[in-house]
Amino acid sequence: MVRFTRRELIIIFFDLLISLFAFWFSRYFGDFPRWYYLVLSALLWVAISCVSGKLKFGDYKRIRYALAGIFTINIFTGVVLFFSYRYTIPEYRYDYSILLAVVIITLLEWILYYSVRKIVYRKIPFFYEEPTFEDFTLLGINGGATVSADIDNKDVKFLLDNTQKQKDFTTWIKENRDSFSNKTIIVETSNPEDILSYKTRNVSLIINTLPLNKIRHINTGLSYANYCLQEGGFISCHCITSGIRKEKIMKQCPIVIRDIIHFFDYLWHRVAPKISVFKYFYYWLTKGERRSLTRVEVLGRFYRAGFEVIEDSVMNGKFHILAVKVKAPIRDDKPSNGMLIRLRRVGKNGKIIGVYKFRTMHAYSEYLQPYIYKCNNLSKGGKIEDDYRVSPIGHFLRKTWFDELPMLINWLKGDLKLVGVRPLSQHYFGLYSPELQQLRVKTKPGLVPPFYADMPETLEEIEASEVRYLKVYLKNPMLTDWRYFWKAFRNIVLKGKRSK
């Protein structure tokens, strides 16, 4: 007996929808049989697809093999349908509508395969997880204290005392180059190798007078600066953030067209460099000299490179950053600007699974937890108050829960079930009681947690809610999930309940 996984059954279901649509659509462009023949045709189409193995998308090793296989089986199925119509349907006359149906199904199945390959079978790198609050002391952060009060570097103090007084920071640095000691290097370069050449010197301060907007490989440049600096060394940089850029456009353009100009400027200098299709063309055309950077992204890049920001301010239309080296750069990650992220979560039997979500924060915000914690501290519920790392579209996604929509991919892959406890990170999983940990790993996490059925408020109430659900679920799985689903549906849809 042939058995299909949940993933394969869902692919078969979508193929059935594609077939029904194609036959229904083609009927309006020819003399196709009656509607019940079209339903039978769609069922026959899917049956041949299953028997031939065409829909086993995970077995294809190359995209071209999949496209060729789908095309070949579809041609064969189209021929089978043609002769079936000819010999079983009285007075059937051939027209091009069946050919149109085959073409439509083939194109849509190619799209379906490519989508499944890119989203389901392709594992995007894990999202960098923010350090836990116990780790913040390793970064020189203890109870919100900063390093700035303990600065004993004379060049850094001289820089801090005079930077805010200058209208042109770059010109002042060049004119006062001799005022700095030989442990300070002043560069104006976009090439990280130029900074790395100072590695043999005992450098305590690096000042780059070139705006970060004009540096193509910012992460590499900051990492090389980290390698060159002695322990506790400093780096000073500046840039024009997207907020400053917008403010300038609004002041320098007429009211009628300033929003239009800012929209296209944002698309070209902010969005285009982050999309793989346009990225290389953008850098080839502009050399990356006017790239738009958000404040969150700039600060996050510094923390990823092993620095702690001790001073950041906007002066004379520029965003200035002074940071101190506190550790080695983070190397075991892969920063992403994409909307889809993959988080490490504890699944059934304690297995680590990758849970998908839409990004709701600015790029590089994941590296900024220490800085945000130092500046804002935590609210009573353990969340950051007024977290400006969340983007405008992120607020909308969180409010509407669209940010959790990609978790359907995990349901498709079989990592999650429809109703179940929320998938947790290893850190938060470790905060739960041993009893609850043992219950949690006996079943898969779910898309709809029991939280929305009980609406608990405190951590203790959340744990008690999950224990109740899991104990009942292990005795009667299907009935328990059925009841909890409709309880959650009533609270969310009818009563408008939301998590806090």
Residues 23 and 83 in one domain: yes
Residues 156 and 188 in one domain: yes
Residues 353 and 473 in one domain: yes
Residues 297 and 352 in one domain: no
Q: What pLDDT score does 383 carry?
A: 53
Q: Quick check: is 443 in a domain?
A: yes
Q: What pLDDT score does 148 carry?
A: 44
Q: What pLDDT score does 146 carry?
A: 42
Q: Please give the structure tokens belonging to residue 276.
A: 């793989």
Q: What pLDDT score does 145 carry?
A: 35
Q: Quick check: is 189 in a domain?
A: yes
Residues 142 and 256 in one domain: yes
Q: What pLDDT score does 401 carry?
A: 79
Q: Quick check: is 370 in a domain?
A: no
Residues 295 and 318 in one domain: yes
Q: What pLDDT score does 461 carry?
A: 85
Residue where a domain terminates, one of 66, 91, 121: 121
Q: Quick check: is 355 in a domain?
A: yes
Residues 275 and 185 in one domain: yes
Residue where a domain terminates, one of 69, 87, 121: 121
Residues 351 and 321 in one domain: no
Question: Which residue type is seen at 392?
Answer: P
Residues 434 and 460 in one domain: yes
CATH of the domain at 243: 3.40.50
Question: Domain span at residue 104?
Answer: 6-121
Q: Quick check: is 332 in a domain?
A: no
- Tell me the β-bridge partners of 203: 229
Q: Give me the count of residues in the chain.
A: 500
Q: What pLDDT score does 413 carry?
A: 82
DSSP string, 170-239: HHHHHHTGGGS-TTEEEE--S-HHHHHTTTTS-EEEEEE-S-GGG-S-HHHHHHHHHHHEEEEEEEEEEE
User: The dihedral of CA 196, 198, 202, 207: what is its sign?
Assistant: negative
Q: Which residues of the chain have pLDDT under 70?
A: 1-4, 31-33, 92, 94-95, 122-123, 130-150, 370-371, 373-386, 496-500
Residues 181 and 305 in one domain: yes
Identify the DSSP state of 331.
-
Q: Please give the structure tokens belonging to residue 96.
A: 């091009």
Q: Quick check: is 457 in a domain?
A: yes
Q: What is the dihedral of CA 270, 166, 171, 321, to 10 degrees?
A: -40
Residues 110 and 185 in one domain: no
Residues 183 and 109 in one domain: no
Q: Quick check: is 378 in a domain?
A: no
Residue where a domain terminates, one of 68, 95, 121: 121
Q: Quick check: is 334 in a domain?
A: no
Residue pLDDT, tens place only, 85-131: 878 877 767 667 888 899 999 999 999 998 888 777 766 777 777 65
The pTM score is 0.72
Query: What's the total number of domains in the chain?
Result: 3
Residue pLDDT, tens place only, 119-158: 777 667 777 776 554 444 444 443 333 444 457 788 898 8
